[in-house]
């Protein structure tokens, strides 16, 4: 048989009759489309687009084979053909057989060697200094758009080091016209490459603008060349002398003037895009992984210290170099490369391709192949390159700079520039994300870069960029934003300063910090609030510091990770001597092993490092009462801080004011829809007869959204309309009344213009929070004597715990029980907390729920949907006041298809994702709606099995419910997946199974124990365990049974519960991952 007949078929998405696979890709974002298809089809797949066959290689085995230049070459096509109007036969866009490419390549190779690049040190440092000094002048509150400033940096470095020309992008409000012209040409070239030739001919004005931009850029290059020819600089270390005067060692020719111009443009286009994008990706990863950030900073401190940074330091900055390599491996600016076969051949010895096939190399998937990079390939870990890791990689495994004769000629230039820039930034600044909740999305142009990624920088203690860089810097002037108050809150100019630092994901701890800021003027203080990360190496010593931190299953909030890492790395010395501090911690007692771990860690480390506590540490268990313990601690903290600081000013009262006016008819036009998902399906799953009703919702996500199975869908709900109506009745208000709130610093209550009372109550505040003792006291202060005595009795600790906290009585409940309490509406509003988003585990996989569709303007766009599975919390209220309605669940239950939700995706903080290698076994343990993420995993495995030439590892699903007929949700779907070999289904029914009541194990842990031998073998074979359900029920019982199995296996080794707990903790990051809830 022939080569083709003996080959393995290449998987392909089913093509349509006329459009082929055009509907499977988004032409405006080919990288993301390719990554998604690779997740589905594995190491290779093909597409039929516009009559051409495209073969996408995704694995190390397939991509590596195409690096054989005797069988494959890089064609110049698509956008590269369009760019020839600007770049001509420069190195980037010329064919390998063009004479100009060979001449330029041979002339320039020696200049880009290590010694040639070192000569450019001073020029690179000149531009890096401009960046750093600019950041320093603008101050710590300035938001830096990475794609903008790193592009300016890379562009100016090339201009100065290559051509001796200063574009001065750091001295302009905007960028140099050349940058804008170049951007326009890149965008237009991309569009032209995706249009039909007839359409390009008809777009006359676009073509004219493109030609004008190209001419303007060529004119500037010609001016630079003429200036150098008229005024020679024989001692210059830039590239321009080489471009103009050096001779090709093979032919003896110099480069033509036109080719010099083309290569000048080539260096600017190719160099600035890749370097700027890489630096953006690098700082994203460092800030998302604070322990890596600290290692890089520690190396800079050890190698360079506070003094001048010299060229001799470069070889010693090993971790910084490999942090950059790891960013390039994880997701570099070049997403796709392309090749074609010189003659018919087999890729990886099995997949047949013809010379007419376009072979695309998916570099992200290639450099995430777990067979080369291990099961942690989806983690950012520079350590993988250390201690011979880089040298011992398989051939061609790291290809961030291209391959063969067409590899990036400026690699050494870019590496030196990036190492220098990162080192100087880390030497002088603490860097933080402007928005700690930012999740990476890519912005595709000729390359890819982080979309709208912004950072802030703060000068490190004792560091002076002007001094270390040998430059002069104007004094930093930071705007004091506390002098005026938009919300008309009282400002006390003689107040003593107070710093409040918080970590927060859900918003609770942030609201605590804002409360202190709002209350502090009454006690004689002026509080400034900030995230914990913003205080890394920046703890004030001249004022008290309050630290408010949650603990999420023992982990810090996103905007506190770097701070906590810094504390843990800090030397055991008096590093925080003279710091006066207090700590308040939030946590959930369902996670008993890690309850309040983070605030306790902060408290202990502050004390260890020499700080002095001015008030006792406080804690709140958010499972029960988020208000009472907080208010008690806050009052004590203010008493202690006044005493410690000698503050004697009188404590003033609060003056929150509310104006209610008659409604005005105002029509509003809708704004941007970004951030809004559209409900597509909202259907019942049953379960109400034996427990909570359950529903399945499908949502089309906002454009640009991405998710992975195992992530969270976060929704900001509206309050229950029945509760809002109760409030309106209690305060004798109309839903149409309008309100203006003044005299408060609570951002969620502040109103610039009147809004309706109904809208404020529906959309801004939590209405179901249990009342605190302090709030009951405020109600009592506005009640007659008889009622006051009754409320005083309710505040007694035992009674409060039993009747208020135990029955979750709200302020509204107490007001309805005491109608003669004349609490003003303003006081009631001031008791409320901000409405916080709720998160739900995603119950789908993006591999099964993504499509490319035509948008309203006719352009292709990706449509991504997800599903969630949720319980509806409706039951008689324990307080006796009607129905208890869960804010988010009842809100979701009311949504109809077509309605919009305020929503976003939150990646899981733990390793709650399927193994990269689908052949590894998995064990899924869940109950009730905890099935949600497991359904996403199973759906993903089904897609992989249907589309890849690969076998799936065993997957066991232990699912607990009550009744096989009433709440065995998704049963038909699960049974079909079992029949198809996707899972082995292990249901447990606590009330009634298919064989009747009392037959078989009733609970999941019991069945796990019965089948422990099978599970032990799977775990020994690399299985990963996933747990999702109630923390205090399934979460605890699943952990207990796993420890019990481990103890049985190790019964001859004299181990006990302590060792079993230590074993479980040791595998929780990787092999045993849980997503539990209240």
d(CA 786, CA 793): 11
Q: Domain 84-468 is classified in which CATH homologous superfamily?
A: Cytochrome P450 (1.10.630.10)
Domain limits, CATH 2.40.30.10, in the chain:
676-720+839-906
d(CA 965, CA 307): 73
| CA 771-659-662 angle, 5° bins | 115
Q: Which CATH architecture has domain 722-744+763-823?
A: Up-down Bundle (1.20)
List CB contacts of 707: < 8 A, sequence separation 6 or more: 701, 713, 842, 846, 864, 866, 905, 907
Q: What is the mean pLDDT of each run of 10 residues along the chain (1078 residues)?
A: 84 88 84 92 92 94 95 87 90 87 88 83 94 94 94 93 91 87 86 80 89 94 92 86 90 92 88 90 95 95 92 95 97 92 95 95 96 94 96 94 86 94 96 90 88 94 78 37 39 74 86 88 90 91 94 86 88 82 89 84 92 94 82 92 83 64 34 68 91 94 89 92 94 90 80 85 90 93 92 92 90 94 93 90 94 70 91 87 88 94 85 92 95 96 89 94 91 95 94 75 92 94 93 89 93 89 89 84
Contact 107, 242 (CB under 8 A): yes
Q: What's the CATH fold of domain 922-1077? A: Rossmann fold (3.40.50)
Q: What's the CATH fold of domain 676-720+839-906? A: Elongation Factor Tu (Ef-tu); domain 3 (2.40.30)
Q: How many residues does the chain have?
A: 1078
Tally of helices (H runs) and strands (E runs) in the chain: 38, 37
The per-residue pLDDT for range 92-142, each reduced to its tens digit, is 888 888 899 899 989 888 888 777 888 899 999 999 999 999 999 999 999
* pTM (2 d.p.): 0.83
Which tokens is 332 given?
A: 């570099």
Annotated binding residues for heme: 408
The per-residue pLDDT for range 651-695, each reduced to its tens digit, is 766 566 666 654 432 222 222 334 889 999 999 998 888 889 999
Report, in angstroms and rounded to the nearest whole number, the Rg of the chain calculated over CA atoms: 32
Domain limits, CATH 3.40.50.80, in the chain:
922-1077
Q: % helix / strand / coil in the chain, to the nearest 5?
A: 45, 20, 40
Q: Would you state the pLDDT for residue 1026?
A: 95
CA dihedral 208, 211, 213, 215 (to 10 degrees): -140
List CB contacts of 105: < 8 A, sequence separation 6 or more: 91, 405, 409
Domain limits, CATH 1.10.630.10, in the chain:
84-468
Annotated binding residues: 408
Phi-psi group of 488: left, alpha or beta (phi > 0 → left; psi -120 to 50 → alpha; rest → beta): left
Domain limits, CATH 3.40.50.360, in the chain:
496-645
Locate the DSSP E strands across 532-601: 545-550, 580-587
d(CA 1050, CA 1063): 11
d(CA 997, CA 982): 28
List CB contacts of 1014: < 8 A, sequence separation 6 or more: none
SS3 950: coil
Residue 754 φ/ψ, nearest 5 degrees:
-60, 140
Contact 11, 47 (CB under 8 A): no
Which residue, 995, 1021, 994, is CA-closest to 915?
A: 1021
Q: What's the CATH fold of domain 496-645? A: Rossmann fold (3.40.50)
Q: Cα separations (Å) of 533 from 547, 550, 612, 768, 929? A: 11, 14, 21, 31, 35
List CB contacts of 847: < 8 A, sequence separation 6 or more: 36, 39, 40, 939, 940, 943, 944
Mean pLDDT of the chain: 88
């Amino acid at each position: 048989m022939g080569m083709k007949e003996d080959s393995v078929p290449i998987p392909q998405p089913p093509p349509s009759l006329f459009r082929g696979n055009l509907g499977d890709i988004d032409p405006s974002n080919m990288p993301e489309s390719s990554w998604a298809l690779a997740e589905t089809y594995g190491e290779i797949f093909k597409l039929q687009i516009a009559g051409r066959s495209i073969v996408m290689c995704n694995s190390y085995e397939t991509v590596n084979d195409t690096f054989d230049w005797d069988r494959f070459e890089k064609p110049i096509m698509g956008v590269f053909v369009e760019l020839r109007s600007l770049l001509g036969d420069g190195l980037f866009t010329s064919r390998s057989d063009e004479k100009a490419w060979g001449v330029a390549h041979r002339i320039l190779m020696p200049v880009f060697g290590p010694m040639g690049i070192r000569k450019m040190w001073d020029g690179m440092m000149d531009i890096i200094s401009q960046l750093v000094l600019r950041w320093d002048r603008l101050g710590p509150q300035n938001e830096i758009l990475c794609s903008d400033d790193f592009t300016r940096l890379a562009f100016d470095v090339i201009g100065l080091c290559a051509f001796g020309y200063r574009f001065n992008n750091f001295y302009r409000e905007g960028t140099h016209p050349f940058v804008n012209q170049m951007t326009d040409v890149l965008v237009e070239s991309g569009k032209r490459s995706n249009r039909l030739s007839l359409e390009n001919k008809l777009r006359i004005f676009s073509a004219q603008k493109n030609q004008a931009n190209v001419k303007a850029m060529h004119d500037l290059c010609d001016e630079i060349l003429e200036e150098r020819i008229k005024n020679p600089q024989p001692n210059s270390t830039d590239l321009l002398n080489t471009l103009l005067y050096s001779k090709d060692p093979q032919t003896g020719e110099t480069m033509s003037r036109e080719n010099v111009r083309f290569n000048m443009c080539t260096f600017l286009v190719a160099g600035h895009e890749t370097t700027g994008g890489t630096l953006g990706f690098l700082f994203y990863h460092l800030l998302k992984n604070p322990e890596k950030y600290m290692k890089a900073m520690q190396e800079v401190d050890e190698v360079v210290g506070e003094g001048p940074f010299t060229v001799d330091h470069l070889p010693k900055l090993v971790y910084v170099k490999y942090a950059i390599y790891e960013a390039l491996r994880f997701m570099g600016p070049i997403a796709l490369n392309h090749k074609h076969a010189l003659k018919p051949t087999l890729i990886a010895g099995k997949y047949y391709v013809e010379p007419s096939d376009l072979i695309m190399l998916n570099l992200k998937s290639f450099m995430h192949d777990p067979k080369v990079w291990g099961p942690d390939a989806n983690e950012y870990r520079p350590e993988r390159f250390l201690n011979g890791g880089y040298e011992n990689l398989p051939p061609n495994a790291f290809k961030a700079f291209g391959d063969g004769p067409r590899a990036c000629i400026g690699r050494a230039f870019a590496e030196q520039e990036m190492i220098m820039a990162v080192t100087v930034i880390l030497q002088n600044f603490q860097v933080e994300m402007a928005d700690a909740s930012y999740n990476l999305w890519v912005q595709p142009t000729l390359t890819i870069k982080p979309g709208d990624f912004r950072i802030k920088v703060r000068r490190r203690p004792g560091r002076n960029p002007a001094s270390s860089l040998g430059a002069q810097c104007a004094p930093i002037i930071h705007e004091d934003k506390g002098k005026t108050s938009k919300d008309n809150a009282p400002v006390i100019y003689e107040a003593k300063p107070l710093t409040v630092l918080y970590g927060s994901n859900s918003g609770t701890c942030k609201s605590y910090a804002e409360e202190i800021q709002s209350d502090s003027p009454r006690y004689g203080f002026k509080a400034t609030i900030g995230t914990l990360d913003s205080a890394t190496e920046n703890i004030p010593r001249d004022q008290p510091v309050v630290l408010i931190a949650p603990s999420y299953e023992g982990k810090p909030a996103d905007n506190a990770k770097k701070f906590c890492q810094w504390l843990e790395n800090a030397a055991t010395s008096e590093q925080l001597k003279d710091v006066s501090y207090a700590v308040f911690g939030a946590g959930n007692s369902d996670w008993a092993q890690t309850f309040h771990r983070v605030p306790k860690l902060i408290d202990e480390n502050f004390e260890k490092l020499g700080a002095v506590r001015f008030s006792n540490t406080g804690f709140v268990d958010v499972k029960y009462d988020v208000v009472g313990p907080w208010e008690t601690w806050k009052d004590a903290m203010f008493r202690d801080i006044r005493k410690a600081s000698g503050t004697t000013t009188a404590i003033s009262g609060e003056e929150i004011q509310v104006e209610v006016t008659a409604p005005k008819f105002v029509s509003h036009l809708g704004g941007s829809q970004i951030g809004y998902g559209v409900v597509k399906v909202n259907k019942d799953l049953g379960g109400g007869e034996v427990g909570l009703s359950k529903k399945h919702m499908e949502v089309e996500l906002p454009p640009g959204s991405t998710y992975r199975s195992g992530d969270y869908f976060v929704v900001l709900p509206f309050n229950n309309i029945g509760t809002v109506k109760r409030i309106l009745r209690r305060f004798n208000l109309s839903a149409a009344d309008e309100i203006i709130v003044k005299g408060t610093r609570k951002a969620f209550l502040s109103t610039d213009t009147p809004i309706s009372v109904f809208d404020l109550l529906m959309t801004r505040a939590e209405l179901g929070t249990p009342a605190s003792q302090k709030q009951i006291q405020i109600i009592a202060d506005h009640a007659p004597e008889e009622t006051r005595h009754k409320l005083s009795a309710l505040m007694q600790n035992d009674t409060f715990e039993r009747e208020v906290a135990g029955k979750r009585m709200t302020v509204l409940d107490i007001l309805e029980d005491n109608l003669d309490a004349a609490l003003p509406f303003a006081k009631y509003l001031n008791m409320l907390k901000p409405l916080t988003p709720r998160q739900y585990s995603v119950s789908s996989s993006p591999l099964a729920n993504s499509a490319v569709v035509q948008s309203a303007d006719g352009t292709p766009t990706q449509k991504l949907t997800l599903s969630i599975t949720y319980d509806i919390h409706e039951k008689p209220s324990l307080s006796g006041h009607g129905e208890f309605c869960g804010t988010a669940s009842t809100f979701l239950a009311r949504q109809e298809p077509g309605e919009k939700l305020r929503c976003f995706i939150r990646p899981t903080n733990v390793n709650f994702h399927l193994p990269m290698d689908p052949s590894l076994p998995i064990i899924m343990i869940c109950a009730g709606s905890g099935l949600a993420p497991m359904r996403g995993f199973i759906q993903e495995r089904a897609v992989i099995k249907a589309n890849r030439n690969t076998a799936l590892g065993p997957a066991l699903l232990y699912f607990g419910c009550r009744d096989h007929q009433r709440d065995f949700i998704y049963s038909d779907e699960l049974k079909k997946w079992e029949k198809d070999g996707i899972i082995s289904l292990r249901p447990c029914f606590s009330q009634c199974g298919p064989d009747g009541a009392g037959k078989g194990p009733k609970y999941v842990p019991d069945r796990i124990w019965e089948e422990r031998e099978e599970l032990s073998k799977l775990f020994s074979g690399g299985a990963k365990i996933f747990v999702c359900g109630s923390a205090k029920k399934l979460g605890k019982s699943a952990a207990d049974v796993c420890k019990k199995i481990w103890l049985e296996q190790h019964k001859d080794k004299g181990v006990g519960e302590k060792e079993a707990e230590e074993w479980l903790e040791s595998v929780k990051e990787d092999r045993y991952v849980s997503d539990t809830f209240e």
